Every structure is written in C-alpha cells, then in structure tokens.
C-alpha cells in the first residue's frame, strides 16, 4: 500500500487496500485505478485526487471569491443558483444565459473523470468540435480555469474544509449546505447510477452500506459536516440546511442576502422563490446539468440531475433494518457534537 506526503500538501494520502478497491470497482464501474484516503479523517476520494490535492490546497483564494460547499446531493445546485443571483443583484438575464457549470467551476470534478472514461467520452463526441470543447472544459482541472477567471469568482466544491486552502475562511466567503443523510444517500444513489464517472451497478441497500461505512466518495459524511458546523459562527461562513430551504425559502434567501450584504423587496423575494422552485428548476436549462447528458457523462434516459426535490423521501427506500441502522449511525455520530438537523428537533 502506498502512503505519500509532500511538502506542498501536508496531509497523508493513503491508497485504499487493493482488495477493497477491487471490490468497489466492481460496483462503481467509472473508476479504473483505485481510491485514496486523505488526512486524519480518512476522506475517501478517487486515486486521481493525488494529482490535484496540492493544486487545490495551494490555490490562490481571492477576497471576493464565493465558495458553495457541501456533501453531494445536499442541495448544492439550489444553493449555487440562490447565492449567485443574490450576489449578482438578481441578474436573471445572465443566469439564464450562462449555465451554472460555467458560472461555477467544480473544483475537484476532474479527479472523478478517469482517463479511461475521458477517452471513451472523447470517442463518443468526436463528431462535434463544439462537444469536444465542452468536454475539455468540464473535465479540465478547475484550478487552471479559476486562475484565469475574472473576479468575483463562484466556486462549487464537495471537499471538506480541511482539504481546501487553509486561509480560505479568513480570505473569502463560504456557503455550506447540509441535508439529512438518509435523503442524501437516496439522492446520491440515483446520481451514482446515472453518472458514468461513478457507474454504480447495484441496489440501494448495498449502496447505503458503502455510504455509512465510509467506502464512498467524500465520506465520512458526518466529519464533512462537522468541520463546517464548527466554523458556522465565523463571519465568512454561512451554514444552511436543505430542509430549511425546503420549509421556508424566503427566510433562507434573507439569510443569504444578509450574509452577502444585500436587501430585496417582497416582490423581488417572491420572484426569486418562484425562480428557485423545483418545477421551474427542472425546466431551467441553465441549472439542470443537461450538458452532462449531452456529452454522455449522464446516461441517456436516466434519472435527471434535478430529481424530486423533497425532504423525507428516504422513507420509500429504507426497510426496518436500514431505518434502525440509520438511527443508530446518526445518534452515534451526533453524540460528540452540538450539530442538529433542524427538522429532527422536537
């Protein structure tokens, strides 16, 4: 097993044991080399992360950067659009014209595109210059794109704070969004089946076991949340919950507006709520990741990126055994922290 460390990236990068990696690659067919665990918390990422770890950790952060950070499927896209529109004084014209993927480079996406898959996508799109350009753009290391982007920059990431530049919070703003892990798991299961970079091929029950045993990308889930939760009072951190957006979107928008120093009229708020509603989101080409389907990264006729958009849908997927397992797992992970999901409070 290879363990590496270098001067530009202080955390340990430890290869996942070959037998475990082999087994996982049978279920997650988008990965072809293996996986690593990073730092003392052992964050689980594809092998290719090793190439980008230091570039991300040492990237230049600008004071007017805005990062939207989350564990995947926690409402990142929803939050991104909300944050972008608030920060840009409700400029719907630009938000509708420029896809979210261009407005927000996805910091670590390139490490999820294994060279084998990248080659496959190239072959499949080689009849169109435009698609090849698009493919190059979405699979290029985002640190390279960001270095050339004018300010203010908007950045999407699913990395926990400890893998991001250490001065991030003292320099730029971070909006972190968290969601009930049971809904996250159901939603991420669907995405793992439709994204060919992940290529998950088994059922939900097995997936759930990978997820809670930290054998899945960006886990351990609770450590990810706790890192941001601990910084929630930092003036440059805004910590949101998906369930809070779901329950009272105008109040959540007001929190974002306060954080970014903006004020809006009731009419402006109403219009923004309408724009951000799940039905409008599904049909909004600028946010619904159609580009990924066009390039074949999302399977044709598969689950859409914007899916049901409701809180509590996990109940349809969990049998009694899994429900009990989830209760225990959540209680265990919440016992040493004051992190609480607002919708689970009495």
Whether a cis peptide bond, with omega within 30° of 0, leads into 2 is no
Report the C-alpha gap between 322 and 325 in whole angstroms.
5
Catalytic status, residue 158:
yes
Q: Which is nearer to ligand A3P, 131 or 190 (CB)?
A: 190
In angstroms, how far apart are the furthest CA atoms of the chain? 59
Q: Which is nearer to ligand A3P, 13 or 107 (CB)?
A: 107
Select the span of 162-170, 202-210, 219-227, 308-316 touching ligand A3P (CB under 6 A): 308-316
- Residue of 309, 323, 325, 343 interacting with ligand A3P (CB under 6 A): 309
126 contacts ligand A3P (rule: CB under 6 A): no
Q: How far is the CB of 82 from ligand A3P (least distance, A)?
A: 9
Q: Shortest CA distance to 107 belongs to which of 174, 40, 41, 42?
A: 174
Handedness of CA 253, 255, 257, 260 (dihedral sign): negative
Report the C-alpha gap between 163 and 84 in whole angstroms.
24
Q: Which is nearer to ligand A3P, 262 or 308 (CB)?
A: 308
x/- track of binding to ligand A3P for residues 176-205 (CB under 6 A): -------x---x--x---------------
- Residue of 14, 293, 307, 343 interacting with ligand A3P (CB under 6 A): 307
Show the DSSP H helices in the chain as ranges: 18-27, 49-57, 76-87, 92-97, 100-103, 115-125, 129-139, 142-148, 168-171, 181-194, 204-212, 221-229, 242-247, 249-259, 266-275, 278-282, 290-294, 320-334
Q: Per-residue DSSP letters for 261-273?
A: T----HHHHHHHH
- Residue of 24, 25, 27, 72 interacting with ligand A3P (CB under 6 A): 72
Q: Shortest CA distance to 101 belongs to which of 62, 59, 145?
A: 145
x/- track of binding to ligand A3P for residues 238-277 (CB under 6 A): --------------------------------------x-
78 contacts ligand A3P (rule: CB under 6 A): yes
Among residues 47, 114, 158, 216, the one annotated as catalytic is 158
Q: What angle do CA 298, 111, 164 make, to 5 degrees?
A: 120
Q: How far is the CB of 271 from ligand A3P (least distance, A)?
A: 14
Q: Give me the residue whose beta carbon is nearest to ligand A3P.
A: 309
Q: Shortest CA distance to 111 belongs to which of 56, 148, 64?
A: 56
- Residue of 23, 251, 278, 344 interacting with ligand A3P (CB under 6 A): 278
Q: How far is the CB of 186 from ligand A3P (least distance, A)?
A: 6
Select the span of 71-79, 108-116, 168-176, 201-209 touching ligand A3P (CB under 6 A): 71-79
- Residue of 306, 323, 325, 343 interacting with ligand A3P (CB under 6 A): 306
Q: Which is nearer to ligand A3P, 75 or 160 (CB)?
A: 75
302 contacts ligand A3P (rule: CB under 6 A): no
Contacts with ligand A3P by CB under 6 A: the residue count is: 19
Helix 320-334 vs helix 221-229: angle between axes, to the nearest 10 degrees? 40
- Residue of 313, 323, 339, 343 interacting with ligand A3P (CB under 6 A): 313
Q: Are 69 and 159 in contact (CB under 8 A)?
A: yes
Q: Which is nearer to ligand A3P, 215 or 292 (CB)?
A: 292
Q: Shortest CA distance to 313 belongs to which of 188, 162, 164, 156?
A: 188
- Write phi, then psi, for 120 (nearest 5 degrees): -60, -45
Residues in contact with ligand A3P by the rule CB under 6 A: 70, 72-78, 183, 187, 190, 276, 278, 281, 306-309, 313
């Amino acid at each position: 097993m290879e363990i590496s460390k270098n001067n530009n990236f202080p955390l340990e990068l430890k290869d996942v044991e070959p037998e475990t990696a082999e087994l996982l690659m049978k279920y997650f067919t988008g990965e072809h080399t293996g996986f690593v665990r990073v730092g003392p918390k052992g964050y689980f990422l594809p092998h290719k992360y090793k190439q980008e770890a230091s570039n991300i950790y040492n990237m230049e952060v600008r004071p007017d950067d805005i990062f939207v950070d989350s564990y995947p499927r926690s409402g990142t896209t929803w939050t991104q659009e909300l944050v972008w529109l608030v920060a840009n004084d409700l400029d719907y014209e630009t938000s509708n014209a420029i896809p979210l993927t261009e407005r927000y480079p996805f910091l670590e996406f390139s490490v999820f595109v294994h060279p084998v898959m990248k080659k496959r996508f190239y072959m499949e799109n080689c009849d169109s210059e435009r698609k090849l350009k698009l493919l190059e753009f979405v699979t290029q290391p985002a640190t390279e794109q960001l270095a050339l982007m004018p300010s203010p920059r908007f950045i999407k990431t699913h990395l926990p704070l400890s893998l991001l530049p250490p001065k991030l919070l003292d320099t730029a703003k971070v909006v972190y969004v968290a969601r009930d892990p049971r809904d996250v798991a159901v939603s991420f299961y669907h995405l793992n089946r439709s994204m060919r970079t992940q290529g998950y091929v088994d059922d939900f029950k097995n997936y759930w076991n990978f997820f809670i045993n930290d054998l899945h990308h960006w886990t351990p889930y609770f450590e990810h949340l706790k890192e941001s939760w601990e910084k929630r009072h930092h003036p440059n951190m805004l910590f949101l919950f998906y369930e809070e957006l779901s329950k009272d979107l105008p109040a959540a928008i007001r929190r974002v507006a306060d954080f970014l120093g903006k004020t809006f009229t009731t009419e402006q708020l109403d219009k923004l709520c309408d724009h951000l509603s799940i039905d409008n989101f599904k049909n909004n080409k600028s946010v619904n990741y159609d580009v990924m389907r066009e390039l074949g990264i999302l399977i044709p006729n598969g689950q859409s990126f914007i899916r049901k958009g409701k809180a509590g849908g996990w109940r349809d997927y969990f049998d009694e055994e899994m429900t009990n397992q989830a209760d225990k797992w959540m209680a265990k992970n919440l016992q040493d922290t004051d992190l609480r999901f607002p919708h689970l409070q009495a």
